[in-house]
Structure 1
Amino acid sequence: MIITGDDPEYIAFVKARLRDQFLMTDLGPLRYFLGIEVSSTSDGFYISREKYIQDLLAHAALGDEHTIETPMELNVKLQLTDGDPLSDPTGYRHLVGSLVYLAVTRPDISYPVHILSQFVSAPTTVHYSHLLRVLRYLRGMITRRLFFPRSIPLQLQCYSDATWASESSDCCSLFACCVFLGGSLIAWKTKKQTAVSRSSVEAEFMLWPC
């Protein structure tokens, strides 16, 4: 395994060796890749998805300019039987799939995307209205981005929490966690627990593995 580190001369050497073996083009510093925008400053790196969100909103064709401050209502509990079935669920499935990919760099929508993705097999009008709420939230928060500072202490910290019996269909709890390396958020997850906990304390103990 070759580790380039931050030595510019050695990085140039590795690139030259790769060009000798493969057909490749040096595109310079990373700026845009698979819908992810990367900008570099003297303080660190920013990762954003502004263009991806703009394209997603254009595809959704919301028909208004409303924005919402939160991606999902507090304590909302969606069920399979809420509302009327969509005549064509294709649009719902496409938008949820796009949001799943967006959540890779937008932890603020991790929870609502987890909830809405549970109904892709048979979405209803109520599920779709909550999906549009997430899109309106993204419209108002389109400039939010992740920051990774250049100089950070290599201290690993993890924060976690859990709801108790929040899933009305099976009484399972949801848990979420986020992992920081210094001041940089490097991993996060929202997931339904596989077993039913009998108390909020038990739900907390069942957090791991995250």
Structure 2
Amino acid sequence: MKTKNSYKSPERQKFDAEVADYFLKKKDQYGLLAFIEWKRRQFKLEHELDIFDIAVEGYIRGVSKISSGEDIGNSLAWLKTTCLNVMREHYSKKRKKQQKEIDFSLVEYKLTSKEDSALLSEQDVKALLVAIKQRLSPLDFEVFVLRVLEELSWSEIESRMELQSNAALRKRYQRLKKSLQDYFFNIDNALLEDYGLSPVNRS
């Protein structure tokens, strides 16, 4: 017996039937799956996103749109656009993550570099350290200072702090890096730019 929740509107039934047909036409060079495979290669996401996972995400978004009373129209064209957006979103997140890692690596470099062109003034260093200190716990900030400014090895830091194992210190450092990466990125690199720490233009 069908329950109330199992009811599908005519629009949903039509959409489901069309999607099932698109999934069956795997070798159609103009079909949905061929389009996804082509765009996935363009975004270099072959090893990160499965073709069917992208298609299923597009289908789920279509179901949600129909359930809200909106019209999809040409389902193939709509799904291609939606699946393209799914890949764009993933690619954007990937680039943002890479940018955070680049930003923080540059902070580490600028704070420790001996090259004249990379040196910060004492005032700039103090201002940057104040901003970093506000983002970290006292213990995390101590780890940051010992590792980045004093350039101690993990064994030396472990001996100096007398409280954690080498592996635990590394994990703590990775967490504090993540916190700072999020901070620097979320303020749109304003702090980095203020102190001459913005990434080199790679365009």
Would the TM-score normalized by the shorter structure come out above 0.5? no
| TM-score (norm. length: structure 1) | 0.22
Select the structure that is richer in strand: 1
Select the structure that is richer in helix: 2
